[in-house]
Chains A and B, each alone.
Chain A
Amino acid sequence: MTRLAAKPARPVDAPPKPRKPGKRLFGGGAGTMPEWIAGVAFTSPWIIGFLGFMALPIVLSLYYSLTDYSMLEPPLFIGLDNYTRMLSDDVFWKVMRNTVLYAVVAIPVGTILALIIAALLNTNMRGQTFYRAAVFLPTLVPLVAAAMIWMWLFNGELGLINTILSWVGIRGPNWLGDASWAMTALIVMSFWGVGRAVVIYLAALQDVPQSLYEAADLDGMGRVGKFLNVTVPMVSPVILFNVIMSIIETWQVFAVPYIMTQGGPDRSTYFYTMYLYDNAFPFGQMGYASALAWVQLIIILALTALTFVISKRFVHYRV
């Protein structure tokens, strides 16, 4: 039996041993896997997921939009019928109108509200942390739970909102059951989640150089003047970001009206995505639903592009 000699101890100040080639997955050198292969290998779970669950469905949905497809039978190619059908579909125009109305009111009012709240929360006041938390907290409540709470707040007979209105002698409407008030109720409810935008504006506000306010003070500008002439231009890139996100979100609004009104009464709160969903699943018209989805994508892209074009006149970027 051969006794192995003891390995001599390595001095602590000795230079590091050269790495053995071929053991590392990436890093280059002779005998190692090329970096790009290693990169692809490690990102392959995401790539496979993207190809399988995003890219393929996108391509298939484009094909299905040209077919009649109930999912129970093979798709039947019908050319552009699904797209031309939209032109004479009253419900399509109804959901377009509802979605545009919602977006036209909810986005500007929500943006202005968020900006004002952020500006107020950016001032030095007692309990500032509490107020910031209070504004942000509602965004942490799951949408379904929030919708259930608001259903009770808007209740025509027992709701808190109508109870408060009754204290000042106003008989409140049946918010969600009345076609002329249901959309208003949903727009009001959309401000529940304003805290998320407020946080982003707050971060932007804290980045506005103090020197600009000092210069405005020297010019004798008041608080409103400073807000309009200093604050708003300086946070305008963030406003643009929030507006674009809001455009995308409002065109995809689904869960809240689906829970609170199911699109009623008289389809007054029936939104684009709800109609898309109804066609895809309950009605078994996946072809028409796919066409609706592509039109929705085109609308969102067009609105986003339009917003960017318009923003060139209003958005101020610091160089």
Chain B
Amino acid sequence: MTTEGKGHLSRRAAVGTMAAAGLGFAVFGPRQAQDVPPGRTVVDYWEKWTGQEAAAMRLVVDRFNRSQDRIWVRYFSMSAIDQKTTIAIAGGDPPDLVGLWNFSLPAFVEADAVLDLKQLDAEFGAEIATAFRSRYGDADHRLRRERYAPQVWDMCEWKGQLGGISSACTNMGLYYDKAAFRAVGLDPEKPPRTIAELDSAAEKLTTYKPDGSIDRAGFIHREPGWWNWLWGYHFGGALLDPATGDATAASAENIAAYDWLQTYPEKFGTARLVAFQSGFGGYNSVQQPILAGKVAMVFQGSFIANVFKTFAPDFEYGAAPFPVIDELYDPDRPIGLMEADVLCIPKGAKHPREAYEFVMFTQRREQVELLASRHAKPTTLRTATDEFVRDHPNKFIAMHNKLAVSAGAFPKPQTRVWPQYEAEFNSKIGSMWERTETATEALTQIQERGQAQIARMRDVTQRRYGDRA
């Protein structure tokens, strides 16, 4: 470096240093993760999955990229997808495609932040169908309600707008350890069907150490603790009034459900249960509580089969729809929570037509079944092939497929203020579990706060959109 005198930097040296820094950045700086073949339109796709699930979608993306020479889908796996998408949309630079959760959709649709796939289908559907026929020999991908499991379609449609379409879905049931059933004299082929049967089995399956602490719990509502709000649905309750959209957390059915929840710490000892549960290992690990013999029955989704497969391939498990109260039991109308991963095209996307073509590709049965199988989830479609059921990693996938098309399947409550409403449940579940509050007290407070959020949102929407609201 040329310098003139101590403490003085010459212009040549300054410019040279900056040029060297720029050159260094150009040569050694960050690179695009994937090289895009020349001449292709790049579709940026943000997805929330990581690990095994992300790798499965990568397969679908790779298949699409290989299947034609006009579009290149660039796939990014990231956390906190809804927050990042919100910020990207607010900043005016959204990706072409995002994979959101179904419960995020109402906020995006009401804010007019995602494109209506029905409109895109009207615009580009026929053209893409023609291209698919020539490319794949059929047009097995069209967005028609009758093609999908009804609840899956309903989760993607909000206020008449198809805000996205599901790339994968799942539903939840009762998973249990067959060996534990056998050990206490229960028939492992007859899982509990009603709440009363569940209670009876849980008592038999709960075992204690010599010092009186719990060795294995038959069932714990708070394992894994991801769905603190849903017990009322298995008692015939709901969290929103379907007609008015008002909060109904403190309905008689919900109170009955949480009264039932409180019988467990009452029976098994609050302190004992809380201490016992604090020793549980992580979900995706060999210390997974059901694998570690800590619990015998657990409320879980179909995807847990991948955990079993990875950490204990010989684990003998059973699965069934989660029990309901006697009056609701109907083997032909199982009740269970449904969730869906939804592909959305944000408003402001640079290549909506190309993004939509990729979405259509993901809706072809072979891609739907590939993704569902790798994720250990049921199909999003109304029917499944025999091969899908036969080769699926979850031995009970037929049960999950049946649940997916059941009229008793229910989604997370669809409201724009769901994150706040759910947060109220998460904050109160501890006091209900520790019985420092009765179910009635806690649910009344949850309902009041949930309703206040709903009312505030309605007020703001009215002020913002007037009659359009």
> Does B221 touch A at the CB level, under 8 Å?
no
Q: Does any Cβ of A come within 8 Å of B83's Cβ?
A: yes
Q: Which residues 288-307 of A have a CB within 8 angstroms of B?
A: none
Q: A23-B11, A71-B87 are in contact. Are A178 and B460 (CB under 8 A)?
A: no
Query: CB distance A179 to B111 under 8 Å?
Result: no
Docked complex Cα distance between A19 and B80 (Å): 58
Contacts of A252 in B (CB 8 A): none
B10 at the interface (CB under 8 A from A): yes
Question: Contact: B11 with A25, CB < 8 Å?
Answer: yes
**B449 in the interface, Cβ–Cβ < 8 Å?**
yes
**With contacts A19-B5, A157-B275, A177-B275 known, what are 15 further pairs, Cβ within 8 A?**
A19-B4, A24-B8, A68-B460, A68-B463, A70-B111, A72-B113, A73-B464, A155-B279, A156-B275, A156-B279, A174-B271, A264-B427, A265-B431, A266-B430, A281-B80
Q: Which residues of the partner chain B approach A265 to less than 8 Å between Cβ atoms?
A: 430-431, 434
Provide the residues of chain B in CB contact with A157, threshold 8 Å.
213, 275-276, 278-279
Within the complex, which residue of A72, A262, A266, A282 is in contact with B419, where a contact is CB–CB below 8 Å?
A282
Q: Does A237 contact B (CB under 8 A)?
A: no
CB atoms of B108 and A72 under 8 A apart: yes
A57 within 8 A of B: no
Note all chain B residues with C-beta closer than 8 A to A266: 427-428, 430-431, 436
List chain A positions with a Cβ less than 8 A from chain B: 19, 23-25, 27, 68, 70-73, 76, 78, 90, 155-159, 174, 176-179, 262-267, 270, 278, 281-284
Of B90, B278, B436, most A-chain CB atoms within 10 Å: B278
Query: Considering only CB atoms, which chain A residue lies closest to B448 in the complex?
Result: A90
**Which residue on A lies nearest to B428, using beta carbons?**
A266
Chain A residues positioned under 8 Å from B83 (CB to CB): 281-282
Residues of B within 8 A of A155 (CB): 278-279
B274: which A residues are within 8 A, CB to CB? 156, 174, 177-178
Interchain nearest-CB distance for A79 vs B (Å)? 11
Note all chain A residues with C-beta closer than 8 A to B87: 71
A177 CA to B434 CA, complexed, in Å: 10
**A78 to B463, alpha carbons, bound, how many Å?**
9
Determine whether B426 belongs to the interface, using a CB cutoff of 8 Å to chain A.
yes
Considering the complex, give the chain A residue whose CB is closest to the CB of B104: A284
8 Å CB contacts to A: which residues of B380-433? 417, 419-420, 423, 426-428, 430-431
Q: Which residues of A contact B463 (CB under 8 A)?
A: 68, 76, 78
Q: Given A155-B278, A264-B427, A278-B423, are A284 and B11 neighbors across the interface (CB < 8 Å)? A: no
Min distance, Cβ A111 to any Cβ of chain B, angstroms: 32
**Judging by beta carbons under 8 Å apart, are A24 and B11 in contact?**
yes
For A159, list chain B residues within 8 Å (CB). 278
| A47 to B: closest C-beta gap in Å | 17
Interface residues of B (CB under 8 A from A): 4-5, 8-12, 14, 80, 83, 86-87, 89-90, 107-108, 111-113, 213, 271, 274-279, 417, 419-420, 423, 426-428, 430-431, 434, 436, 449, 460, 463-464
Residues from chain A with a CB closer than 8 A to the CB of B113 are 72-73
Q: How far is the CA of A270 from the CA of B430 in the complex (A)?
A: 14
Q: Which residue of B lies closest to A158 (CB)?
A: B279
A284's partner among B80, B107, B271 (CB-CB below 8 A) is B107
Interface hub of B14, B271, B277, B430 (most chain A Cβ within 10 A): B430
Q: Which residue of chain A lies nearest to B14 when distances are taken between CB atoms in the complex?
A: A25
Contact B278 A72 (CB under 8 A): no
Give the CA-CA distance A73 to B89 in the complex, in Å: 10
List B contacts of A156 (CB < 8 A).
274-275, 278-279
A262 CB contacts on chain B under 8 angstroms: 426
Chain A binding site: helix, strand, loop or mixed by DSSP?
A: loop
Tally the A-B contacts, defined by beta carbons under 8 Å.
Answer: 101
Instruction: Determine whether the beta carbon of B419 is less than 8 Å from that of A24.
Output: no
- Please indicate the chain B residues that have their CB under 8 angstroms from the CB of A263 in the complex: 427
Verify B90–A72 contact, CB threshold 8 A.
yes
Do B277 and A177 touch across chains, with their CB atoms under 8 A apart? yes
A266, B427: Cα distance in complex, Å:
4
| 23 A–B pairs (Cβ distance < 8 Å), ordered by A | A19-B5, A23-B4, A27-B8, A68-B464, A71-B89, A71-B90, A72-B86, A72-B90, A73-B112, A73-B464, A157-B213, A157-B275, A157-B279, A158-B279, A174-B274, A177-B275, A177-B430, A179-B431, A264-B427, A278-B423, A284-B86, A284-B107, A284-B419
Known: A90-B449, A157-B275, A283-B419. A71 touches B431 (CB 8 A): no
Please give, as numbers and ranges, the residues of chain A lying within 8 Å of B419 by CB-CB distance: 282-284
Residue with the greatest number of chain B CB neighbours at <10 A, chosen from A19, A73, A270: A73
Name the B residues within 8 Å of A90 (CB-CB): 449
Name the residue on A nearest B83 (C-beta): A281
**Which residues from B are CB-within-8-Å of A73?**
111-113, 464
Question: Which of B11, B276, B428 has the most CB atoms of chain A within a 10 A radius of its CB?
Answer: B11
Find chain B residues with CB under 8 A from A76 CB: 460, 463-464
Bound CA span A27–B14, Å = 15
Q: Given A283-B419, A284-B107, does the pair A174, B90 have CB atoms closer than 8 Å?
A: no
Inside 8 A of A278's CB, which chain B residues have their CB? Answer: 423
Q: How far is the CA of A179 from the CA of B80 in the complex (A)?
A: 28
In the bound complex, CA of A107 to CA of B464 (Å): 45
In angstroms, Cα B271 to Cα A250, docked, is: 31
CB distance from A147 to the nearest CB of B (A): 15
Does A177 lie within 8 Å of B278, measured CB to CB? yes
A24 CB contacts on chain B under 8 angstroms = 4, 8, 10-11
Task: Please name all residues of chain B whose beta carbon is closer than 8 Å to the beta carbon of A284 when the two chains form the complex.
Answer: 86, 107, 419
Q: How far is the CB of B95 from the nearest CB of chain A, in Å?
A: 15
**Which chain A residues lie closer than 8 Å to B107 at the CB level?**
70, 72, 284
**Which residues of B lie under 8 Å from residue A264 when comparing CB positions?**
426-427, 430
Contacts of B9 in A (CB 8 A): 25
CA distance A270 to B423 in the complex (A): 12
Closest 4 A-B residue pairs measured CB to CB?
Answer: A265-B430, A72-B111, A157-B279, A156-B278
Bound-state Cα–Cα, A284 to B86, Å: 9
User: CA A23 – CA B14 in complex, angstroms?
Assistant: 11
Closest to A88 in B: B452
Complex-state Cα separation, A71 to B279, whole angstroms: 40
Assembly CA distance A104 to B154 (angstroms):
51
Rounded to whole Å, the gap between the CB of B96 and the closest CB of chain A is 17
Q: Which residues of A contact B5 (CB under 8 A)?
A: 19
Q: Whole-angstrom distance from the CB of A24 to the nearest CB of chain B?
A: 6
Residue of A nearest to B465 (CB): A73
Considering residues B87, B276, B427, which has the most beta carbons from chain A within 10 angstroms of its beta carbon?
Answer: B427
Question: Shortest Cβ distance from B326 into chain A, in angstroms?
Answer: 32
A278 to B271, CA, bound (A): 30
CA distance A262 to B422 in the complex (A): 14
Looking at the complex, which one of A179, A281, A283 makes contact with B434 (CB distance below 8 Å)?
A179
A179-B430 contact, Cβ under 8 Å, with A19-B5, A25-B11: yes
Distance between Cα atoms of A156 and B464 in the complex (Å): 49
Residue of A nearest to B15 (CB): A25
Q: Chain A contacts of B428 at CB under 8 A? A: 266
Q: How far is the CB of A184 from chain B (nearest CB, A)?
A: 16
